[in-house]
Amino acid sequence: MSVQTVIAGVSGRMGRALIEAVTADAGCSLLAAIDRPGSPLLGQDPGAAFGAPSGARVTDQAAAALRGAHALIDFTRPEATFGYLDACAEAGVPLVIGTTGFDDAGKARIATASARIPIVFAPNMSVGVNLLMKLAEVAAQVLRDGYDIEIVEAHHRHKVDAPSGTALGLGQAVARAIDRDLASCAVYGREGVTGERDPKTIGFATVRGGDIVGDHTLLFAGIGERIELTHKASSRATFAQGALRAAKWLQGRAPGLYDMRDVLNLK
């Protein structure tokens, strides 16, 4: 069965990557695309730009786009995601959320909607990054004592949230593995006379510049050695392919809140 897919935010960088990926995927078909009101793409066939006209059209009406859909994939902004979340819950359409930057209330809203529809919600859809998350848990359990833990991430100049959702996900994976509370042990950047490093903290450093797609390094620094686990994305295609894998995996699933570890059987 071809998964009839709706892509949100098609004028954005990830939206374009998703359109290109779905037009090349034999297991998915592009049913419709959604963009903001006033977008110059409204009414156009989003696949035409990649030499693969789909017959789909770009609309700003989510409810109309979801008719006959098997899944919606959303990489936009939290305020837009909530509209898609409500529309999917009303239509009974599974949802893949790659949007980042949600506060606790936003995450709770997604969890509430998952009682009605199946949702894959993950800070990063890359298969490699999610494998990195699993390796991070294993490494943290072995290196929990005597090693300082730092997370360094770099993204393009247009990214609006920091640290990245992936960096925070790495921090949460490590903290969970060694029974720490990330909210109370995280240190986000350092400046001035900070004093000696607290060995129980997990540090974050953020770089923004140019067209960096996404680099993440988890560093365990001990005495006489350091261990670095690094993932570097050279193309947004890796996130798009992971999202399509999640959309396929959702077919026939019961309502609930899932992540890429469920999709990849890494739990």
List the beta strands (DSSP E) in 79-225.
95-97, 118-121, 148-155, 186-188, 202-208, 214-221
Confidence of residue 60 (pLDDT cuts 50, 70, 90): very high
CATH fold label, 3-125+236-263: Rossmann fold (3.40.50)
Q: Report pLDDT digits (tens) over 82-103.
A: 999 999 999 999 999 999 889 9
Active-site residues: which are they?
155, 159
pLDDT in tens, 102-115: 999 999 999 999 99
Q: Is the pLDDT of residue 64 over 90?
A: yes
What are the phi and psi torsion angles at 247 (to 5°)? -60, -40
What are the residue ranges spanned by the domains of the chain?
3-125+236-263, 127-233
Tell me what percent of the residues of the chain surpass a pLDDT of 70: 99
Q: Which CATH class is domain 127-233?
A: alpha beta
C-beta separation of 72 from 8 below 8 A: yes
What pTM value is reported for the model? 0.82
Please, what is the Cα angle at 124 between 249 and 47, to 5 degrees? 65
Tokens of 50: 């990649």
Amino acid identity, position 187: V
Instruction: Say what the pLDDT of residue 50 is.
Output: 66
Burial category of 173 from C-beta neighbours within 10 Å (exposed 0-12, middle 13-18, buried 19 and up): buried
The answer, yes or no, to whether residue 47 has pLDDT greater than 90, is no
C-alpha to C-alpha distance for 262 and 257, rounded to whole angstroms: 10
Distance between CA atoms of residues 166 and 152, nearest Å: 11
